Amino acid sequence: MLDWSDRHYRYFMRQITTQTELYSEMIVADAILHGNREKLLAYSESEKPLAVQLGGSDPQKLSIASKICEDYGYSAINLNVGCPSDRVKSGNFGACLMREPNLVADCIQAMRGSVSIPVTLKHRIGLDYEDSYNALLKFVESIAKIGCVDFIVHARNAILKGLSPKQNREVPPLKYNFVYQLKKDLPQLNIMINGGIKTVEEIQEHLHHVDGVMLGREAYYNPYLFSNFDELFFSELNNDSNYVTKTRKQIAKSMINYLEIMALKDIPLHHITRHMIGLYHGCANAKLWRHTLTQDIIKSNNIKTYIDLMDKMEN
């Protein structure tokens, strides 16, 4: 998620769940080719499994960018054709590419051709006011034909004219049944569902119908929701019953070392702590936590402000 799932946020999430796959922000292929690669792609080893998400519509550029990402050690590469923002639209990528399934297939094919890690696709159930399930099925079939097996489906349309990106995450109705039907019609594919999912119970219900669940906003606003995900969703899969659920305070403490390391690299502390505001979501002293992590830390940029806060926080 742009501006949210940067390396600091992901490192923080890894203190909460070790098994859940994490995703980078969308990175435009051109930026990887011509920009500051280290700044865009560097991460901590502990963030894995970690997928990098690319934006673009030029097969050759995407193929080169994919190879660079594979060399960086990412676990998977995801192509974003679900983003409705104007900036993305004017670059002819993101959700508008759903109108061009052949081009998407060319992109995925070129990306798959240059790497051996999985190349996956994130998309919407439709564009604008298209409401036919068959159009979605055809779109996915045309990409699956070239060997793509992993699809993450945001279960609402993208409306390219008249709605902001934020509205595009709220206004078009969620149609989970379209995603369930995809899995029924194409059972050989891994279908992951996304959009409006907020609770363990909802995740468990979706997992009766599809192969995986992606959480966006709730993972940011309420990260502690993930605290028992290793045990809940991965112990059987990995035949490992030793996953531990940390308390909020243990998680907060486990960030001290990282904050110290980043301070030595002159990274302002609030660049990291701003992603941790949600840890005490719904708790008694959430306000104190939020205030210290934003206001006080910005003022002091001193790790002591954070360490002193530990004494005042509940478990």
Name residue 95's amino acid: A
DSSP string, the chain: -TTTSSHHHHHHHHTT-SSS-EEEEEEEHHHHHHS-HHHHH---GGG-SEEEEEE-S-HHHHHHHHHHHHHHT-SEEEEEE----HHHHHTT-GGGGGG-HHHHHHHHHHHHHH-SS-EEEEEES-BTT---HHHHHHHHHHHHTTT--EEEEESS-B--SS--TTGGGTSSPP-HHHHHHHHHH-TTSEEEEESS--SHHHHHHHTTTSSEEE-SHHHHH-GGGGGGHIIIIIHHHHT-----PPPHHHHHHHTHHHHHHHHHTT--HHHHHGGGGGGGTTSTTHHHHHHIIIIIHHHH--HHHHHHHHHH---
Residues in the interface with ligand FMN (CB under 6 A) total: 21
Candidate segments 210-218, 240-248, 268-276, 294-302, binder of ligand FMN by CB under 6 A:
210-218
CB nearer ligand FMN, residue 3 or residue 311: 3
> Is residue 4 a contact point for ligand FMN (CB under 6 A)?
yes
Positive or negative CA dihedral for 187, 117, 39, 10? positive
CB of 307 to ligand FMN, least distance (A): 29
CB atoms within 10 A of CB 28: 20
Which residues are CB-contacts of 62 (< 8 A; sequence separation ≥ 6)? Answer: 29, 54, 56, 79, 107, 110, 111
122 makes contact with ligand FMN (CB under 6 A): yes
Contact with ligand FMN (CB under 6 A) among 57, 80, 109, 157? 80
- Considering only 37, 67, 89, 169, the residue that binds ligand FMN (CB under 6 A) is 169
Query: Least distance from C-beta 24 to ligand FMN, angstroms?
Result: 8
Interaction between residue 154 and ligand FMN (CB under 6 A) = yes
* C-beta of 124 vs 248, nearer to ligand FMN: 124
Shortest spacing between CB 268 and ligand FMN, in angstroms: 20
* From candidates 1, 64, 137, 298, binder to ligand FMN by CB under 6 A: 1
Per CB under 6 A, the segment of 30-38, 135-143, 216-224, 256-264 that binds ligand FMN is: 216-224
Q: Select 7 or 305, whichever has its Cβ closest to ligand FMN.
A: 7
| 25-54 binders of ligand FMN (CB under 6 A) | 25-26, 53
Among 91, 130, 216, 298, binds ligand FMN (CB under 6 A): 216
Is the CB of 59 or the CB of 196 nearer to ligand FMN?
A: 196
Nearer residue to ligand FMN within complex by CB, 125 or 255: 125
Nearer to ligand FMN, 46 or 167 (CB): 167
Binding-site string for ligand FMN from residue 83 to residue 112, where x marks contact by CB under 6 A and - marks none: x-----------------------------
* Residues annotated as part of the active site: 83
**Is there binding between residue 197 and ligand FMN (CB under 6 A)?**
yes
Listed residue (88, 98, 87) closest to 123, CA to CA: 98
Q: Which residue ranges make up the site for ligand FMN (CB under 6 A)?
A: 1-4, 25-26, 53, 80, 82-83, 122, 154, 169, 194-197, 215-218
